[in-house]
Amino acid sequence: MAWDFETEPEFQEKLDWVSAFVTVEVEPLDLVLGSAYDVGNPDFVRLVRPLQAEVKAQGLWACHLGPELGGAGYGQVKLGLLNEILGRSRFAPTVFGAQAPDTGNAEILAHYGTPEQKRRFLEPLLANEIVSCFSMTEPQGGADPLVFTTSARLDGDAWVLNGEKWFSSNAHLAAFLIVMAVTEPDHPDPYRRMSMLIVPSDTPGIEIIRTVGYAGEASSGHSYIRYNDVRVPADHILGGRGDAFVVAQTRLGGGRIHHAMRTIGEARKAFDLTCERVLSRFTQGSTLAEKQLVQEKIADCWIELEQFRLLVMRTAWLIDKHKDYRKVRRDIAAVKAAMPKVLHDIAARALHLHGSIGMSDEMPFMAMIANSFLVGLADGPTEVHKITVARQTLRKYEPTDRLFPSYHLPTARARAREKFGLASE
């Protein structure tokens, strides 16, 4: 889909339907239900399943997937326009079959899974009959896989898994976990030492030490896990031995840009609430909207949000164009690095302009600020992505071996005079 700052009328009709549907039917779920991943909860079944059926009837279920997997096969530009609406609501991704980490895990299974793995794990996951967990980070090493210690050794016809994982999302609700473990400890290439394993959650030896949450979360959803001699069949590997990094990239490139798309929606929600507030609140002889320092904050919010949205949509367009995440690595890293600051700054201004009620639990802004830190850590910390942007950018430049830089003004002036046949100074 080409994107020239106009959206096709037919697709805009779908977006209009999504916007109204999310506002009227989905956002209220955020206020009355706990985890969006507790698919066995009777209230989830009663309230969410009918909405999912409406989405499917509209042909908008799991739009990131191809028709062969039950999706619409949207490119990233269309997904961007859709996801920035879904980002307004905690439950919207689940209602539309686009919730992380299930989307990324589904991509891995679709790409690397055997027919039996797809039947057992992928099909019910795509239908949201079950949820999954991506168990990668570790308490001693964070998101740096080169210091991971969780290991799996092959013992006959089974892998034996031992170690600890941290912040494994929805592990206490998941039907299965995708675990990154060291299987080739002696491989000379440190990036070839790990493999991805499917671990059914009912396998003996999985110990959830505790499940933790963060500020503003409706229910705790991130587990600290210990694997104690967990035995899984040898064929529960995704990709080949030592392929964990390759497999992970199948989910991380798309996951990062989709997080950014939804962050646009969350930041815009904070901005919309702020605009209503400053137009409504009267103090010191005028509305907040009439005060210049408030106008500056509104302007800064709008500018930052629109700049970020353009960066995200341009990156989405590049992914659609190249169909290769590696060719858009710098752009994806830039989006990921910009995302937390944009959300934090807009949410923080929103909180401030709401006064004391803004920082209370009667408003969503503290949760948004907490989420800004979460998106700055999930899928790799901001610093790592800035390093990627810098390295990818500097590859396009060449150093000079001259005493003075190539842009040294006296030298450049002399070359210019010579070019135009002017006498030297």
Average pLDDT over residues 312-338: 93
Q: Which residues of 385-397 are buried (b: 16+ CB within 10 A; e: fewer)?
A: beebbeeeeeeee
Q: What is the greatest pairwise CA distance in the chain?
A: 88
Question: Which residue blocks in 323-408 are alpha helix, DSSP H?
Answer: 329-353, 365-375, 382-394
* Model confidence at 137: pLDDT above 70: yes
Contact predicate 283/290, CB 8 Å: no
Write down the pLDDT at residue 69.
Answer: 87
Could you tell me which residue, 183 or 2, shows the higher pLDDT?
A: 183
Most confident of 212-216, 343-347, 411-415: 343-347
**Confidence band, pLDDT 50/70/90 cuts, at residue 325:** confident
Q: Mean pLDDT, the chain, as a whole number?
A: 93
Write down the pLDDT at residue 213.
Answer: 83
How far is it, in rounded angstroms, from Cα 255 to Cα 391?
22
Of 12-16, 254-258, 284-288, the least confident = 254-258
How far is it, in rounded angstroms, from Cα 192 to Cα 70?
33
* Model confidence at 1: pLDDT above 70: no
Cβ neighbors of 390 (< 8 A, separation 6 or more) are: none
* Model confidence at 3: pLDDT above 60: no
Write down the pLDDT at residue 384.
Answer: 92
Question: Which residue blocks in 87-224 are alpha helix, DSSP H?
Answer: 92-95, 102-112, 115-117, 123-126
Which residues of 102-171 form beta strands (DSSP E)?
132-135, 151-155, 158-169
Q: Strand pairing partners for 199?
A: 177
Per-residue pLDDT of 51-104, as tens digits, reads 999 999 999 999 998 898 888 999 999 999 999 999 999 999 999 999 989 998
What is the reported pTM? 0.91
Could you tell me which residue, 163 or 6, shows the higher pLDDT?
A: 163
Whose tokens are 């999310």? That residue is 22
CA proximity to 22, closest of 78, 72, 99, 90: 90
Write down the pLDDT at residue 217.
Answer: 74
**Confidence band, pLDDT 50/70/90 cuts, at residue 228:** very high
Write down the pLDDT at residue 60.
Answer: 97
Whose tokens are 């490139």? That residue is 253
Q: Structure tokens of 182?
A: 């060291």
Write down the pLDDT at residue 253.
Answer: 65
Cβ neighbors of 398 (< 8 A, separation 6 or more) are: none
* Model confidence at 399: pLDDT above 80: yes
C-alpha to C-alpha distances, 6 to 9, 73, 81, 103, 279, nearest whole angstrom: 9, 20, 11, 28, 30
Neighbours of 408 (CB within 10 A): 13
Q: Which domains does the chain have, with CATH numbers?
A: 9-99 (1.10.540.10), 132-238 (2.40.110.10), 246-394 (1.20.140.10)
Residue 238 falls in which region: left (phi positive, over 0), alpha (psi -120 to 50) or beta: beta
**Confidence band, pLDDT 50/70/90 cuts, at residue 252:** low
What is the helix (H) or strand (E) element at residue 223, kind and residue range? strand 222-233
How far is it, in rounded angstroms, from Cα 199 to Cα 180?
10
Write down the pLDDT at residue 235.
Answer: 95
Q: Structure tokens of 132?
A: 């999954």
Q: Structure tokens of 180?
A: 């990154």
Write down the pLDDT at residue 2.
Answer: 59
Per-residue pLDDT of 350-394, as tens digits, reads 999 999 999 999 999 999 999 999 999 888 899 999 999 999 999
Contact predicate 64/71, CB 8 Å: yes
Amino acid identity for residue 50 in this structure: P
